[in-house]
Structures are given as C-alpha cells and as structure tokens.
Amino acid sequence: MASDSSSRLPWRFWIVALVAFINAVGFTIIIPLIYPYAKQFGLSDFQASLLTTAYAAAQFLGTPILGRLSDRFGRKPMLVLSLLGTVAANILAAFTPVAGLLYFARVVDGVTGGNTSIAKAIISDTTNEEQRTKAFGVFGAVFRLGFVAGPPLAFLAQSIPPLPGVSSLGMGFIVAAGMALLAVLLSLFFLPETLEEPDEFALTWQDFGFGKMLRSAKSPRFGRIFLLTFFSGFTFTIFTFAFQPFFLNVLGQNARSLAIIFAAIGIVGFVTQVFALDPIRKRFNLVAILATALAARGALFLLIPSIPNIVAFSAIMVVFGAVNSFPFSVINSLLSTRSGPKEQGAIMGLNSSYLSISNAIGPAVAGLLVSINYSVPFWITGVLTLFTAGFALTLSENSLAEDESIEAERVPAE
C-alpha cells in the first residue's frame, strides 16, 4: 500500500499536465491556419514557409534562455511570462494589417514558446525517482492529446463570427490566445512555485547546446540516432508545409477542409499510439519497426503527387496518420534504453535540439521546392525518407552493442 501511495502522482503534476494540454491545443490551432493566412497577406509560398521557420528558430534559441531564467527566478513566473508572450503574439497576429508584424508575432511566440521545458522542470521538481518515469509518460500522452484537439478547434474558429478587423482565419489566433490565457490563469491561481533553491543566473553559449550537438553527432552510442532524428524531422517538416499548398491549390480544397485533414491525421495517430505502438514494440525489433515506418512514410510521400485527387489523398492521409506515430516514439525508446538513468535528461534534451533544428530548416526548404512545382517537395522528401529508412537499418542490434562497448572503452580514456 505504501508503494502505491508513493508512486501516485502529486496534484501539482496534474495542474502542469492540464496547462500543457491547453498550450498544445492553442499551438496546434495555428498549424492548419498559418499557410492560408499568409496567402491573405499576399506572401509567396517561400515567404509563407519562413513564418514556420521563424517560429522554430526563435523557439530553439529561446528555450534554453527560459530554462535558465526559471532556474534563477522560479518556474511559475517564467511559465506565466512565456504563456503571456503567446497570448500577445497571437493577438498581434490576428489584428495585424501587415505581413512584417505577422513575422514579428511568430518570432515573439517562438522566443516565449519554450514553456514545455519549464513544465518538465516542474515535473522533475515535484516527483520522486519512482514517480518520474510514469509522470513523463502521462505528460507526453496528455501533450499529444492536445495536438489532436487543436485542428478541430481551428475548423470551429473559422465558423465564429469574426471580430472587427479580424478575418475568419485570424479568429483561429484569437481562440489560440484565449487558450493560452486560460493556461495563464490556471498557473497563476492553482500552481505553486516548485523551485526550492534558485541558481545564480549566468547564461553562456554552452546553454544553447551548439557545441554539445556537434560533439554528440560523433558519439558511437547516440550519434546515428541523433542524425536519424534530424533527417526524420527534416523530411517530415518538408511534407508538413508542402501538403498545404498542394491540398489547397492542386486538389482545390479550402482552409476548413485543411483543418479537418489535420484533425484526422492527429486522431488516427493518437489511436495508433495508444492501442498499437506498445504491442508492436514488444513483438518486433525496434530498429526494424523504425526502418519499416520510415520506408512506409517515404512511399506514401511518393504516392501523393502520383494520384492527385481528394479521395486518394484522404486515404493516404489516414494510413500516414497511423504510420507517422512510430518514428519519433521508437527513436525515443532507442535513446532511453541506451542511456543510463543519470544521463536520460541530457540525451533527450540533445535529441530535442536536433528536432528543433530540423523543424526550422525543413519548412524553408519546402517553400523553395513548392516555388518550383507543387509536386516536387513530395518527390524529394519521399526519396530522402527512403534513404533515411536505409540509414536506420545500420542501427542493427549487433552494431548497437558494439557501439556501447566502444563507448565504454572510450569513457575511462577521456
């Protein structure tokens, strides 16, 4: 009985999880809207892609700053400040009459948008070692559920009578701002401060992780897995941007249908993660699952321009939603099983840095490719994803065991 009580998650965790869910919903409301909204400002496809790149790059730079500030000034004030940044950025994006301010809003949202790292720090502050694995697992599931709920709200937001000076697409930003404001209120009134011993604030280049990233790419144990994260994220974000102009301009659909497609992908992916991921992971080799999922993803990318009609596209997206739930989850499992308890946080943080960089580069590349032809990004990302699947096969179980022994031999020498 004592064991059950000690493993029960504290109430403060559930407040953080609820805040994370609301934040994820607010973030994903924007994803199906950003491209058609950019077109309202007369932006080219490449210029529209830079809105996503600006957000991801700003978030990559802002996240370590927020994390260090939370170590010095407390988790609660920095969480509230970051959420208020999202509120202000989305209101500005909704009301701005010029594209320049839209870019500025995306940068502000990115710089203040690293609040997930603060939420994870709160979890670490409030849970013991026995609770922590369960807490992060539940937190990840709640966060993913928020990603499922966002796109349907993006559809509904376009049905709300718009405020003066706001378009129907702009109402999505208003709803996202409202979600972030709700998270602010929850944090202010229900979340206590969890940092007991503040650190002195001294931000250095090491906090941004550039040097660590360069060195980690050469790690025998983790280097190839980090590179897989980058290439998998890079090819995926090319698709994420490119399929929007393809859906609107080639298939002749509208922004509301785009939100529905995003919702369908999220729902299928969530159901697959809940009911299929663990049974498959227990039955098959992780490397084989990863390579197969990436190969299937690449094949689906190649199918999209080959059958350019809405019925085929919808069927492909349903399959894609299921397949797409595997790569990043399996990569995280590979990293987790090959890192010790005391290095898990550092390894996962480095992996997130690789993913953030890919999220910044991928949309810009997609914007360039779309400016050539709406089908070109799918051909390119399809082939690159198939190569990535081949690269994943180099992570055989034997080679991973060899890598671990090499790393073990190197550590004493260092």
Phi-psi region of 165 (alpha: psi -120 to 50; beta: other; left: phi over 0): left
Check residue 201 and report its DSSP letter: P
| Mean pLDDT by groups of 10 residues along the chain of 414 residues | 60 86 88 94 96 91 79 86 94 96 95 80 78 74 82 91 94 94 92 75 61 78 91 95 96 93 90 84 89 97 96 96 88 78 66 87 96 96 97 71 47 36
Topology of 10-191 in CATH?
Growth Hormone; Chain: A; (1.20.1250)
For residue 130, what pLDDT is reported? 72
Query: 3-class SS at 349?
Result: helix
Length reported for the chain = 414
User: What's residue 4's pLDDT?
Assistant: 52
Q: Where are the domains of the chain?
A: 10-191, 205-414
- Cα distances (Å, whole numbers) of residue 342 to 87, 108, 199, 212: 36, 34, 20, 17
Q: How far is CA 97 from CA 37, 264, 282, in A?
A: 12, 32, 53
Which positions ≥6 away from 2 have C-beta within 8 Å?
Answer: none
Q: What are 2's two structure tokens? A: 């004592």
CA-closest candidate to residue 395, choices 321, 312, 338: 338
Residue with tokens 């539940």: 138
Tell if the pTM clears 0.75, that is, is over it.
yes
Do 10-191 and 205-414 agree at the fold level? yes
Asked whether 38 and 51 are in contact (CB, 8 A), the reply is yes
272, 378, 369, 379: which is closest to 327 by C-alpha? Answer: 272
Residue that is written with structure tokens 């491209």 in the block = 35
Concatenate the DSSP letters of all residues of 126-183 into one string. Answer: H--HHHHHHHHHHHHHHHHHHHHHHHHHHHHHTTSPPPTT--TTHHHHHHHHHHHHHH
Q: Give the residue among 183, 156, 164, 3 at the shortest CA–CA distance from 83.
A: 183
pLDDT for 410 equals 43
Contact 300, 353 (CB under 8 A): no
**Do the Cβ atoms of 294 and 385 come closer than 8 Å?**
yes
CATH architecture of 205-414: Up-down Bundle (1.20)
